[in-house]
Structure 1
Amino acid sequence: MQRLIITENPENWKINVEGVQLVSPSAYINSEEYARQKSIKVINLCKSYQYQSEGYYISLLAEARGHKSLPVTSTLMDFKLPNLAREDAQDFDQLIQDELEELRTESKLEFNIYFGSSSHPSLTKVSQLLFNLFQMPILKAIFSKKDKWQLHSLKPVNTKDLDDQEKEALTNALTLFLEGKKIVRKNYQRKKYDLAILVNPDDPNPPSDAKALQKFVKAADRVGFSTEFITRADYGKLTQFDALFIRETTNVNHHTFRFARRAEYEGLAVIDDPNSILKCTNKVYLNELLAANNIPTPKSVIIQKNNHAELKMEFPYVLKQPDGAFSKGVKKVKDKAEQNSLLKEFFQHTDLMIAQEFMPTTFDWRVGVLGGEVIYVCKYYMAKNHWQIIDWKSTNKDRLGDSETIPVHMAPKNLISITLKATKLIGHGLYGVDVKEVGGKFYIVEINDNPSIESGIEDEVDKMDLYIKIMNHLMKIVQSN
């Protein structure tokens, strides 16, 4: 994707980055070539962003043409509401207190932020945070301290207001921002489209292992993506990409959801899309959705925090935290005493719970669905001497049950049918559906928006073709946007 820096004096900038062109506002406004092209990313460095100024119209025109713009006009208008920045910063109060306290400075702190960078190393995390929240090329932050540090003001800065030293800092930060894409393979050639894979290096139970992630990179390369692994600290870089693939455990009250929302807003192809995250990560919603559409499930009951005295479930049954992932937050209840103890524990964090019939089986079916098509079928066997596929309390290597992957055409037809019917209610993305088989009948247990895809398990049958199918799906969305 072509990248344009729009500035009044292109000849005065010393930017030499592959695939980046500096052009004047008039050249961008009047060029029929730019007007026709869709794959353009615009970095607006005009001298003013005031309403109806040339800089304001550059961002507005970029959005009208379907180009990705930094900043977007909605961000420009956000600064008309000065309290908005202070309120958003309060959500990250602890990080701000921890970082600024280390400076041991006096009661006021003022500094510029250039594309998420600061000239002061101790302010790096705060600078990235504010840039992620407010996507402006240059920001001036002022913090003041009484009992604790508070964001006094945050406002955009125009290039015309910078001195020579500040312009040099801006140029260096812009160069780093533009070169931010990490080369993930040797003999690398940049492709037409850019893919970000969101991961958490510290996650002990990621949805894809290291080998699978590298296979995704190879598959992406084959279908035409240049790929970079990103983390939660790279929120501000999303506009540099054409597609986002989330390989980190998702949740609504979590940065993964913010990444998905932002990617969708910016027009990126995204898996998992925010609607799927919203629907799949809440078991209360899933229970109602499946019941309303006559999809067979284990018998389930919604339990309210202040109205669970009359709960009538045959012991043992399964108690589920609404937003648990990877079987965490799922407990088997064996008697009344354990029920009361677990309900007390869980209701500290939620007002609703799900009680579900316990269906003992030697394995669970896991069916992978992408864009309304089944792409893999696995059997996940229960962990040794345990009722789940993972024994979270065990530290032994056999804490995880065995698995078996079978060709899709060999899977029971009723299994495929119920899975496709259920996922159609969610969307058109990538899902992993957990299914119980009892007496030849199939029951949907869960639909996961962020299914496990690990080397040697889900890819056992289709090998690299599985990864290529997923990357091709993303590429089709990119090309249709």
Structure 2
Amino acid sequence: MTDWVVLVESANDISQAETPHKVLKVADYITKPALFSGRRPYILNLCRSYGYQSEGYYASLLAEARGHRVSPSVQTMVELSAKGLYKHALPDLGERLREAISKGAPEQESLFVAFSKPDTPGYERLAREVSDWFRVPALEVEFDPKSPHGIGRVRMVPPHKLKGARRDFFLEAMGTYTSGRISEPKTKAPAKWALAVLVDPNEKTSPSKPSSIKRLADVAAKMGVEVETIEPSDLTSLAEFDALFIRATTQIDN
């Protein structure tokens, strides 16, 4: 059975009565390492802020240093701090969004996801996809038809801000998640080469679908090649890559 520890900044954020797992103030986790002597717990970081140098950020940083499993990780916090750092995930998320809408999911402004569970039926695949990309207890995906891939923003939601039905949904999802078996993220071998794939998110008839590029990345990873999609505005960074694969329509004037 997984040894869970739920970190909070205030006892009012998540009470011990709301979960069978140990609820611990982040200050105690930071200052009392002896509590975990001989243990390798799974830390569920439910702090109020995950910003750089916040208690939430430092708690995950310390958990990783101690060899504890933690969600969210520092890498995830950094990636979700700016859209430019997670744009690589948008093609996949956009594809799942279009699939959901085409199959009858209600059109709405955003989707709340707790432990890979969506609060709106019809968006299950999108919820799993965004949770595969970013292992965060609570996320909100904001939709924007004017943005590339239809995704305006992906942001972490501090659980202490959840109220009413949304809080109940979060607690139920947390209970289901922590009662199951948690798989470890697969360790990736360092890539030998880096391949840039040029795409144009504004192109209506792209030469390759996002799923095709994802398949390319999966196969390339097995061969020691890291694949990263770039846009025309990123061409100044070409020197960072070993090769360029153009999957955008080229014309004489571009």
Question: TM-score, normalized by length of structure 1?
Answer: 0.36
Secondary structure at the counterpart of residue 238 of structure 1: coil
- How many residues are aligned here? 190
Q: 1:32 and 1:149 mapped to 2: Cα distance? A: 44
Secondary structure at the counterpart of residue 117 of structure 2: coil
* Within-5 A mapping of 1:222-371: 237-239=182-184, 262-264=185-187, 274=189
Q: 1:56 and 1:155 mapped to 2: Cα distance? A: 15
- CA shift, 1:93, in A, is 4.1
- 1:163 corresponds to 2:166: no
Q: 1:80 and 1:98 mapped to 2: Cα distance? A: 27
Contact 2:93 2:130 survives alignment (8 Å): no
Please identify which structure carries the higher strand content.
1
Contact 1:86 1:153 survives alignment (8 Å): no
Q: 1:92 and 1:168 mapped to 2: Cα distance? A: 26
Secondary structure at the counterpart of residue 174 of structure 1: helix
Which residue matches 1:43?
44
Which residue matches 1:145?
145
Segments of structure 1 that go 5 or more residues without pairing to the other structure are 182-236, 240-261, 266-273, 280-322, 324-481
- CA shift, 1:45, in A, is 0.6
Please identify which structure carries the higher helix content.
2
Which residue matches 1:257?
none
Q: Which one has the largest radius of gyration? A: 1
Segments of structure 2 that go 5 or more residues without pairing to the other structure are 193-218, 220-254
- CA shift, 1:146, in A, is 5.5
Which residue matches 2:26?
25
Q: 1:85 and 1:135 mapped to 2: Cα distance? A: 13
Secondary structure at the counterpart of residue 141 of structure 1: strand
Question: TM-score, normalized by length of structure 2?
Answer: 0.65
- CA shift, 1:167, in A, is 1.4
Deviation readout 1:56-77 (Å, 9 max, x if unpaired): 1110110111111101111111
Deviation readout 1:461-481 (Å, 9 max, x if unpaired): xxxxxxxxxxxxxxxxxxxxx
Deviation readout 1:406-463 (Å, 9 max, x if unpaired): xxxxxxxxxxxxxxxxxxxxxxxxxxxxxxxxxxxxxxxxxxxxxxxxxxxxxxxxxx
Contact 1:115 1:131 survives alignment (8 Å): yes
Which residue matches 2:98?
97
Report the AA paired with residue 33 of structure 1: A
- CA shift, 1:238, in A, is 2.5
Contact 2:105 2:121 survives alignment (8 Å): no
Which residue matches 1:120?
120
Which residue matches 2:15?
12
Deviation readout 1:104-144 (Å, 9 max, x if unpaired): 645x5312111111121211111111011011111110112
Which residue matches 2:54?
53
Secondary structure at the counterpart of residue 121 of structure 1: coil
Contact 1:86 1:151 survives alignment (8 Å): no
Q: 2:41 and 2:91 mapped to 1: Cα distance? A: 34
If asked which structure has higher relative contact order (CA below 8 Å, sep 6+), I would say 2
Contact 2:117 2:128 survives alignment (8 Å): yes
Contact 2:72 2:135 survives alignment (8 Å): yes
- CA shift, 1:264, in A, is 2.5
Report the AA paired with residue 30 of structure 2: I
Contact 1:116 1:127 survives alignment (8 Å): yes
Which residue matches 1:259?
none
Secondary structure at the counterpart of residue 52 of structure 1: coil
